[in-house]
Amino acid sequence: MAVEKIIAEWKKGVFKPVYWLEGEEEYFIDKVMDYAEHHLLPESEASFNLSVFYGRDSSWADIVNACRRYPMFAERQVVLLKEAQQMRDVEKLEGYVENPLASTVFVVSYKDKKVDGRTKFAKTLKEKGVFISTKKIYDSQLPEWTQELLRSKELTISPKGLALLIDHIGNDLSRIENEIEKISVNLGKRKNITEEDIEEFVGVSKDFNVFELQAALAKKDLPKSIRIIQYFESNPKAAPIQLVLPSLYSFFSKVFMVFGAGSQDEKAVASALGVSPFFVKDYMQAARTYDYNGVEKILLLLHQYNLKSIGINAAGTEDASLLKEMVYKIVA
C-alpha cells in the first residue's frame, strides 16, 4: 500500500490498527506521520487522544500501555512512535502488534533502516499491520515525480523550468515540494511556472546553471562554458562542484546510452534513455559532437576530477580552477 493510499483511506474514515513505515525516503514517511498527527483527530479530541513518542526517549512498555488505553470521549485514539530506529528493544512491540486494540491507530516511523525480514517481528508486522518500505527515487524518476506533484496542485511548468528546479535541488523531495509551494504562493492566479519564476523565487540563474553548462558542452562552446563557471566562482552557493560533477556525469552517461539506442529518432531515443523528448536534443547533439570514444574519455575525466575535488592529487586547488581545467580537456 503506497503512502498516498494510506492517506486516501484515512480521509474516507478507513483505519487499520498498526502502520509501520520504514526505509530510505524520509519524505514519504514524514508525509504520513504529519497527516496522522495533525489530521486524524479533531483538535477538540487530540489533547486527550493523541500520544507522540520518540524512540530515543521511550520504552516499549510505555508505548504498549499507551496503545492499550481506550479513547476518551471519541471513537479512536492515535499513538505515534517517531524515530523508532533509535529505540532499544523495538522488537518487543511484537506482542502488541500481534493483538492490537481496534480503537487505537498506531503509526511508527523507522527511518533509514529496515527491520530484518527474516525475523518473526518483521513477519508479524507484514501479517498484522500495514507495512511500507520506502526507497529513494532515482534521479531519472525525479521529473515524472515532480510533474505529478505539480498536477496534484493544479500547476504546470515549462521543460526548462523543470530542469532548473531539479538540477538545482537534486533528490531532496521535501525541498522540491517546499520550493513549489513558495513559487505557487507568488504566482497569484497564474498556474504555469516558468524558468523566470525559478530564477526569481528559487534563486537559480536561468542563464548560468548546470543545465546551461551541459548544453554548452554538448556544442563544444568553450567560451560560454567558461563564463558559466566564472559565474559559479562568483556565486559559490549557486552550483558547488559537488553538484556540478554528478550532474555532468549523469548527462554524459545518458549521452553514452545514445550510442546503444539504435535509432536517430528523438522520441525513440528519449524512450530508451527514460528522459523527456525536450531534453534529448542535447544528448544527441553531444553524441554527434564527441563520438563514442570521446564520450568514454569524458566519463573517465569526470571520475578523475571527482577524486581531485575531494583532495586526491589536487590538494588546495580551487573548485573553479578544477572545473575550468576539466572543461578545457573535455572540449579539447
What is the per-residue DSSP string for 64-95? Answer: HHHHTSPPSSSS-EEEEEESGGG-TTGGGGHH
Nearest-5° Cα angle at 162, 248 to 132: 90
**How, if at all, do strands 104-111 and 18-23 pair?**
parallel
User: What averages of pLDDT result for each successive group of 10 residues across the chain (332 residues)?
Assistant: 87 95 94 95 92 94 96 95 94 95 96 89 93 87 90 92 87 93 92 93 89 92 95 87 91 93 85 82 91 95 92 82 94 87
Amino acid identity of residue 330, one-letter, is I
| Amino acid of residue 237 | K
How far, in Å, CA of 19 to CA of 4, rounded? 13
pLDDT value of position 126: 93
Tell me what pLDDT residue 143 has: 87
Q: Give the per-residue pLDDT at 81.
A: 97
DSSP string, 15-57: --SEEEEEES-HHHHHHHHHHHHHHSS-HHHHHHHEEEEEGGG
**Rounded CA separation 190/299 (Å):** 42
Q: What is the pLDDT of residue 228?
A: 95
Total-model pTM: 0.78
Q: Vertex 304, ends 262 and 319: CA angle to 5°?
A: 115
Per-domain residue ranges for the chain? Answer: 3-134, 139-202, 210-331
The dihedral region occupied by 42, where left means phi > 0, alpha psi between -120 and 50, and beta the remainder, is: beta
> What kind of fold does domain 3-134 have according to CATH?
Rossmann fold (3.40.50)
Closest-CA residue to 227 (of 251, 199, 247, 208):
208
pLDDT digits (tens, 9 = 90+) for 197-214: 999 999 888 889 998 999
CA–CA distance, 164 with 143 (Å, rounded to integer):
11
Q: Give the contacts of 157 (CB within 8 A, at least 6 positions apart).
A: 146, 147, 150, 165, 192, 193, 194
pLDDT value of residue 168? 83
pLDDT tens readout for residues 226-275: 999 999 999 888 888 988 999 899 999 999 999 988 888 888 888 888 88
SS3 277: helix
Half-sphere exposure of 290 (CA within 13 A, CB side): 30
The Cα–Cα gap between 165 and 159 comes to 10
pLDDT given for residue 271 in this prediction: 85
- DSSP annotation of 90 reads G
Residue carrying the nine cell digits 523550468: 161
Q: Give the whole-angstrom CA distance, residue 44 versus residue 21.
A: 27
User: Considering only the top CATH level, what class is 210-331?
Assistant: mainly alpha
> How much is the pLDDT for 206?
87
With beta carbons less than 8 A apart as the criterion, state whether 219 and 256 touch: no
Query: Residue 121: its pLDDT value, please?
Result: 93
Strands 77-82 and 50-54: parallel
| Strands 50-54 vs 130-134: parallel, antiparallel or unpaired | unpaired
| CATH level 3 topology of 139-202 | Helicase, Ruva Protein; domain 3 (1.10.8)
In this chain, the answer to whether the domains covering 3-134 and 210-331 adopt an identical fold is no
CA distances from 226 to 9, 71, 79 (A): 53, 65, 56
